[in-house]
């Protein structure tokens, strides 16, 4: 279940079923989404293609974050694979941000985030964007660059046009904007992006940005 009659689907997964149901009712009203509250990630059906993608909001645990992530990577891997996954109710001082990025979590929401912040972040993630504080992303990218400066990947040859397009992609430009800037069709932009991702062996824009930080 991902989208029904064009509606978005959001799974809220956590032990606080009552509080999460209140949040689900709010999100349904504000986002015109179908919200389903569960207590275990395995209760969310696996994605079977783009049309079945849902947003899975995982309640961040108070303790044992590493154990929590290990559990997600084993028991729930097949379930969560293909969905957009984010954390909510994150404690600001938990240090979970970098570990979440490393594991492909698309965004997170802190306990004190106002409702408008939650709506804005969910809307962005449904559009394919990440939702992390800018300083978190900057620290993570810089740490990767420092850690890998003596361990660079094999040289990948990108054409001048591919490099230009890659820089626009990682700067946040949409395909339509790239097409207008380069005077090419959106289909050509998608083809270029597919070829670039294949060359540098990455699945999406975030990993392309991380690859660029380490290799360009």
Domain co-membership, 195 together with 145: yes
The radius of gyration computed from the CA coordinates of the chain, to the nearest angstrom, equals 18
pLDDT in the model for residue 66: 66
Q: CA geometry: angle at 13 spanning 71 and 19, to 5°?
A: 135
With contact defined as beta carbons under 8 Å apart, do 43 and 9 qualify?
no
Is residue 185 scored above 80 in pLDDT?
yes
What is d(CA 40, CA 48) in angstroms, rounded to the nearest whole number? 19
Tens-place pLDDT, residues 80-132: 666 888 999 998 877 888 878 877 788 999 999 999 999 999 999 988 888 99
Question: Mapping DSSP to helix (H, G, I), strand (E, B) and coil, where does residue 87 land?
Answer: strand
pLDDT in the model for residue 39: 80
Give the residue-averaged pLDDT of 33-49.
71
Residue 147: both structure tokens together: 């850690």
- Domain boundary at 94, 112, 132, which? 132
Domain co-membership, 25 together with 109: yes
User: What's the whole-model pTM score?
Assistant: 0.61
Domain co-membership, 97 together with 70: yes
Domain extent at residue 73: 3-132
Report percent pLDDT > 70 for the chain.
Answer: 75
- Residue for token digits 């106002």? 114
pLDDT in the model for residue 150: 46
Tens-place pLDDT, residues 49-69: 444 578 989 988 766 666 666
Residue 14: both structure tokens together: 């956590």
């Amino acid at each position: 279940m991902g989208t029904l009659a064009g509606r978005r689907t959001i799974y809220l997964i956590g032990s606080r079923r009552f509080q999460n149901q209140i949040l689900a009712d709010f999100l349904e009203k504000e986002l015109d989404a179908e919200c389903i509250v569960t207590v275990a990630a395995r209760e969310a059906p696996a994605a079977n293609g783009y049309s079945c993608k849902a947003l899975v909001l995982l309640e961040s645990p108070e303790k044992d974050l590493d154990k929590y992530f290990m559990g997600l990577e084993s028991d729930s891997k097949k379930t969560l694979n293909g969905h957009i996954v984010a954390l909510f109710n994150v404690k600001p001082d938990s240090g979970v941000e970098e570990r979440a990025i490393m594991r492909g979590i698309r965004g997170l929401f802190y306990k004190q985030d106002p409702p408008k912040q939650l709506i804005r972040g969910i809307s962005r993630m449904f559009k394919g964007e990440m939702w992390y504080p800018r300083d978190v992303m900057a620290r993570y990218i810089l740490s990767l660059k420092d850690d890998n400066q003596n361990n660079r990947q094999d040289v990948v040859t990108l054409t001048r046009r591919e490099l230009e397009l890659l820089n626009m992609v990682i700067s946040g430009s949409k395909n339509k904007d790239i097409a207008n800037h380069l005077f090419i069709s959106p289909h050509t932009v998608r083809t270029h992006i597919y070829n670039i991702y294949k060359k540098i062996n990455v699945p999406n824009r975030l990993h392309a940005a991380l690859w660029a930080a380490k290799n360009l």
